[in-house]
Structure 1
Amino acid sequence: MKLSGPAARRYLERPDPAHAGLLIYGQDAMRVALKRQQAVAAIVGPDAEAEMRLTRLPGADLRRDPAAVQDAMRAQGFFPGPRVVLIEEATDAGAPALTAALADWRPGDAALVVTGGALNARSKLRKLFETDRRAVAVAIYDDPPSRDEIAAELARAGLAQVPPDAMRDLEALARALDPGDFRQTLEKIALYKYGDSAPLSPADIAECAPVTMDAGLDDLIACAADGRLPELCTLMRRIEGQGIAPVSIAIAALRHFRALHAAASAPGGPAEGIGRLRPPVMGPRRDRMLRQAEAWGAVRLEAALAVLVEADLSLRSSSRAPAMAAIERALMRLASMGRR
């Protein structure tokens, strides 16, 4: 039997104990591993390995010792409860051994959980699990988690109620991060909110999200975009003291103003454009960038980009002008433009 979409998600959360086998396969090994971990925990519980109710067998060993799978499925441990035989990274070479194991399975034997890579439609392993009525095959695609999947992860982490604006930022974060990093971020958010009765906010998510930009550079460029010239000069001295290269400042400023230009030029307006940015912008920084995109407008942002491109070319040329002074002059010009 083959499952996909919501049916597959529900099955992995609560596998049928009457089924003999489960195949989980996909291109992304991390996504497959997370779904396998979820399914195994649902079948045998969190303490199965300590109670010796989980047996691991490498997929590469199936061809050399095909009887090992059947022996492991029939073996009885010291602790009562359901058992799982886990075959990781299986290939079509192990299909004969798994065929015999599924055919020989009886109620009371261990469940068979198999993981594989990107198996095509002609795969013997796929056909085995898709055509057997007592087995299930689940394909894991590289799509970002849906809203329902994020809600399920939040519930497991202890965050059942999430406001719409916070869920919007979590969906953007899920599109930008790898599955493992996203799960760790959710766990970090749950710890951050432990004992806090206030609902989850975009600011909370921004505090826990992985940092993608140096905080000092972020503040410096925000001063230029907001037209805060006195603060810009103070921050410039601090950035210079940290030893950050002028080219790094130029690259960060170009990235920021290009994002503003993309948001201001979006057909649905700056709010829609901000939501489409990659990597996603969340929390107070999102509100600030939205305000900046609306204040500057697409035309003035094009002029700002021209100033930054000119400064970047000057920094990369053979000019003998002081590099830090050149980028500071460019940012001061932007701050003056922002004030107007």
Structure 2
Amino acid sequence: MKLAAREVARYCAAPDPQAAGLLIYGADPMRVAHRRQQAVAALIGPEGEGEMRLTRIAGADLRRDPAALMDAIKAQGFFPGARVVLVEDAGDGQAEAIAAALDAWRPGDAQIVVTAGQLKPASKLRKLFEGHQSARAAAIYDDPPGREEIQAELVRAGLSGASGEALDALFALGRTLEPGDFRQTLEKLALYKLDDPAPLSAGEVSRLAPASTEAEADAVIEAAAEAREGEIGPLIQRLAAQGVTPVRLSIAAGRHFRALYRAASDPEGPGKGIARLRPPVWGPRRDRMERQARAWGAERLQAALEVLAETDRTLRSANQTAPQMALMERTLLRLAHLRGRR
């Protein structure tokens, strides 16, 4: 049976204990590993691996010994409780052995959890799980977590409540962090709020969010938007040393200035314009962007977007010979000078 995209997170958090198996596949190994970890923990509990109720079989080993999976699902454990046989990094070459095990599976046997990379619709392994009445197939996409998923993760991490702005902050954060980093951030927030009954706030999310090159890229764009010319050069040098590309900076700057232009052009004023942005802007950054939109005005922001569009075309041109990061630095300095003009 194929799980719909909206069902995957819920099912991996609470798999059917009477199902024969679960296939988790996708292009991002970290996201697949996160869902696999969730599903296995839900099936055997936190002590399951220590009690030897989890058996791991590498896909390559199953290819050499197809009977290993059948033996593992039928084996009786020393400790009572549900058991799982995990087949990692499987492919179509293991489909026949897995099909035999699924056909032989009976209630009381270990549940079969299989992980794989990206599988095409014609994949034998994918078709096997999608067509089996007592098995599930879960495709893991690179989409950021939705609000329902974030709220479930908050409960799992031990956070009892969060304000609407905090949820907006976490939603935005989930779009920039890898799943493992995002989960660790939630756990850090839970520890921070351990003895504090007040709902989680957007400010607390901002203070405990991990620093990243994204934050420094935002910093140099903010410096240009606020005409702080002296900060642009050092920030550009640091970003170049970290491997951030000029094209990435150009895209981020275009996104920021387009948001400011939409806010400044709103008939009800920049404040209402910022409130209508999607994804929503939260906390102190929201106030900062409103101030920027008011200071620039729609006319100068339109001129800034033209400068950025010209730079983007030049960066992507096959005939470009000038150092690209220097070009991006000059563009940001032009923007800062444009903002400083009266």
Q: TM-score when scaled to structure 1?
A: 0.77
Give the structure with higher Rg (CA). 1
Partner of 2:156: 156
Structure 2, gaps ≥5 residues long = 241-245, 267-272, 310-320, 324-329
The Cα offsets for residues 147-192 of structure 1, whole Å up to 9 and x where unpaired, read as 1111101111112322222211211221222222222222222223
- Between 261-270 and 96-105, report the one with greater CA deviation: 261-270
Partner of 1:127: 127
2:113 aligned partner, one-letter code:
V
The Cα offsets for residues 237-291 of structure 1, whole Å up to 9 and x where unpaired, read as x999x8985997xx89988875553123227844157545xxx965313321222
- Rounded to whole Å, the distance in 2 between the matches of 1:82 and 1:66 is 23
Partner of 1:312: none
Between Structure 1 and Structure 2, how many residues are aligned? 314
Please point out which of 258, 261, 264 is paired with 1:262.
258
Residues 99 and 128 of structure 1 are in contact (CA less than 8 Å); yes or no, is this contact kept in structure 2?
A: yes
Which secondary structure state, in structure 2, belongs to the residue aligned with residue 12 of structure 1? helix
Residues 205 and 282 of structure 1 are in contact (CA less than 8 Å); yes or no, is this contact kept in structure 2?
A: no
- Rounded to whole Å, the distance in 2 between the matches of 1:256 and 1:103 is 52
Partner of 2:108: 108
Residues 157 and 187 of structure 2 are in contact (CA less than 8 Å); yes or no, is this contact kept in structure 1?
A: yes
- Rounded to whole Å, the distance in 2 between the matches of 1:146 and 1:50 is 33
- Rounded to whole Å, the distance in 1 between the matches of 2:139 and 2:172 is 23
- The verdict on how the C-alpha distance between 1:299 and 1:256 changes in structure 2, with shifts beyond 3 A counting, is farther
Partner of 2:5: 5
- The verdict on how the C-alpha distance between 1:105 and 1:204 changes in structure 2, with shifts beyond 3 A counting, is same
Matches within 5 A, 1:226-245: 245=237
Matches within 5 A, 1:308-327: none
Residues 163 and 200 of structure 2 are in contact (CA less than 8 Å); yes or no, is this contact kept in structure 1?
A: yes
- Rounded to whole Å, the distance in 2 between the matches of 1:124 and 1:59 is 15
- Rounded to whole Å, the distance in 1 between the matches of 2:82 and 2:239 is 60
Residues 166 and 201 of structure 1 are in contact (CA less than 8 Å); yes or no, is this contact kept in structure 2?
A: yes
Which secondary structure state, in structure 1, belongs to the residue aligned with residue 175 of structure 2? helix
Residues 223 and 232 of structure 2 are in contact (CA less than 8 Å); yes or no, is this contact kept in structure 1?
A: no
Residues 274 and 290 of structure 1 are in contact (CA less than 8 Å); yes or no, is this contact kept in structure 2?
A: no
Residues 88 and 114 of structure 1 are in contact (CA less than 8 Å); yes or no, is this contact kept in structure 2?
A: yes
Which secondary structure state, in structure 1, belongs to the residue aligned with residue 151 of structure 2? helix
The Cα offsets for residues 80-130 of structure 1, whole Å up to 9 and x where unpaired, read as 111100001110110111111112222211111111111112111112212
Residues 169 and 205 of structure 1 are in contact (CA less than 8 Å); yes or no, is this contact kept in structure 2?
A: yes
- Rounded to whole Å, the distance in 2 between the matches of 1:300 and 1:159 is 44
- Rounded to whole Å, the distance in 2 between the matches of 1:57 and 1:25 is 16
- Between 252-261 and 33-42, report the one with greater CA deviation: 252-261
Identity over aligned residues, as a percent?
53
- Rounded to whole Å, the distance in 2 between the matches of 1:246 and 1:9 is 38
1:262 aligned partner, one-letter code:
R
- Rounded to whole Å, the distance in 1 between the matches of 2:25 and 2:219 is 44
Which secondary structure state, in structure 2, belongs to the residue aligned with residue 2 of structure 1? coil
- Rounded to whole Å, the distance in 1 between the matches of 2:293 and 2:110 is 59
Residues 260 and 301 of structure 1 are in contact (CA less than 8 Å); yes or no, is this contact kept in structure 2?
A: no
Partner of 1:94: 94
- Between 173-182 and 91-100, report the one with greater CA deviation: 173-182
Q: TM-score when scaled to structure 2?
A: 0.76
Residues 253 and 308 of structure 1 are in contact (CA less than 8 Å); yes or no, is this contact kept in structure 2?
A: no
- Rounded to whole Å, the distance in 2 between the matches of 1:131 and 1:215 is 45
- Between 281-290 and 127-136, report the one with greater CA deviation: 281-290
Matches within 5 A, 1:205-216: 205-212=205-212
Structure 1, gaps ≥5 residues long = 310-315, 319-325
- The verdict on how the C-alpha distance between 1:130 and 1:298 changes in structure 2, with shifts beyond 3 A counting, is same
Residues 129 and 137 of structure 1 are in contact (CA less than 8 Å); yes or no, is this contact kept in structure 2?
A: yes
Q: Residue 7 of structure 1: CA displacement?
A: 3.1
Which secondary structure state, in structure 2, belongs to the residue aligned with residue 63 of structure 1? helix
- The verdict on how the C-alpha distance between 1:306 and 1:70 changes in structure 2, with shifts beyond 3 A counting, is closer
Which secondary structure state, in structure 1, belongs to the residue aligned with residue 64 of structure 2? coil
Asked if 1:66 is matched to 2:66, the reply is: yes
Q: Residue 6 of structure 1: CA displacement?
A: 3.5
Matches within 5 A, 1:1-340: 1-212=1-212, 245=237, 258=254, 260-266=256-262, 269=266, 270-271=273-274, 275-276=278-279, 282-301=282-301, 336-337=340-341
Residues 162 and 200 of structure 2 are in contact (CA less than 8 Å); yes or no, is this contact kept in structure 1?
A: yes
- The verdict on how the C-alpha distance between 1:118 and 1:307 changes in structure 2, with shifts beyond 3 A counting, is closer
